Copies of this chain bind each other. A is one copy, B any other.
Amino acid sequence: MKKFIYLFTLIFIFGCSKDTETQSEEDIDKDKTYNWRLVTSWPKNYPGLGMAPERIADLVEEMSDGQMKITVYGAGEQVPAFGVFDAVSSGAHQMGHSGGYFWKGKVPAAQFFTSVPFGLTADEINSWVNHGGGLELWREIYEPFNIYPIPAGNTGTQMFGWFNKEINSLEDIKGLKMRIPGIGGEVLKEAGGIPVTLPGGELYTALQTGVIDATEWVGPYNDLTFGFHQAAKYYYYPGWHEPGPMLELLINIDAWNSLPNHLQVIIETATKAVNQDMLDEYLAKNNQALTELVEVHGVELRKLPDDVIDEFEVISNRILEDLAKEDETIAKVYDSYLNFKNNVSAYHQISEDAFIEARNK
């Protein structure tokens, strides 16, 4: 089967390259119609995350007056959830929608373009990527994979998650079996916990049967539909591990270069609009869902104790610094990210943070 995919990929690339490699801007037929495939890491039409690619596709079709149609496939329909990057890289599919931190085995620096513990919030990562040099670095690190990335959605600060064990001190982290992927999981492990990897669909049962003590997912809107409140006692915050995860639209560079300029601008602009729209929607729906969780289902909200958060932050920073030592590319991205974070934190403290503090009193 793998051989077949490889062969298919080669044929596809060869088939494409005839069109694209020799193509100059004048050669591009501006009126040609395009039918593209977009593969994603989410179940088809999954609320929030999964609706972003559908909205991008709709906007592109409407703005191009039907010149470009994009068909969106859910995870597993064409490629597995975590096969998106390779499928776009090879050109087997022209587009993908996913999260950069899934490719950490291949492109470790990609994690900074999704979210890292104690990192940037949604507004801050938007600003770093679009006006702070982030996007140029992101495109540079994906270019060897023949992929052109565009920021494509953000859930906002996530919740730490659902727990059947109280966390009153660092002692309670020891031995805690928690579903938490990525760097967040590494932090938990160093603090004495046991990070577990499980797909979303298995979490409810795992919580209920005690296979895990805790799980993170997204936030009230997505969590409510999974019914986690029926399987866990406490809902902990804040989501230190994913303060503002940014999703990504991936485009095969040969396919991208084959498009006339107006379709490229249409795709970039549609995606930028959806990047904001997802955050707007999550904020509105998370706040409705939280009210329902607390007022209707009596969910108990708990704040993680200060000493636990402090220890998580110390470990997180150490892990990121070690990661940056692995190679020059990671170091360059980390340096840009950290520099922006330090400056923007200082500015936010006297602007939005100070305002929020005054308003919350």
Contacts and interface: CB of A to CB of B under 8 A. Distances in A.
A30 interface: yes
Given A127-B284, A281-B131, A353 B351 contact: no
A228 interface: no
Contacts of A32: none
A127 B59 contact: no
B283 A123 contact: yes
A360 B347 contact: no
A184 to B, nearest CB: 13
In the complex this chain forms, how many copies of it are found?
2
A349 B350 CA distance: 18
A232 B81 CA distance: 57
B359 A243 contact: yes
Contacts of A123: 122-123, 156, 279-280, 283
Contacts of A357: 238
Interface in A65-111: 65
A219 B349 CA distance: 13
A355 interface: yes
A124 to B, nearest CB: 7
Interface string A266-302: 1001101101110111011111101100000000010
A159 interface: yes
A280 B126 contact: yes
A11 B97 CA distance: 51
Interface in A283-338: 283-288, 290-291, 301, 303, 306, 309-310, 313
Contacts of A148: none
Contacts of A130: 277, 280-281, 284
Contact of A351 (B266, B286, B343, B360): B286
Contacts of A273: 269, 272-273, 276
A129 B131 CA distance: 25
A237 B359 contact: no
Interface in A107-121: 118, 121
A41 interface: no
A157 interface: yes
Given A303-B354, A353-B356, A287 B347 contact: yes
29 contacts: A59-B265, A63-B262, A63-B266, A63-B269, A123-B280, A124-B283, A127-B279, A127-B280, A128-B284, A129-B280, A132-B284, A156-B351, A158-B351, A159-B350, A239-B351, A240-B355, A243-B352, A269-B269, A269-B273, A272-B277, A276-B276, A286-B347, A287-B343, A287-B344, A290-B346, A290-B350, A303-B350, A306-B361, A349-B360
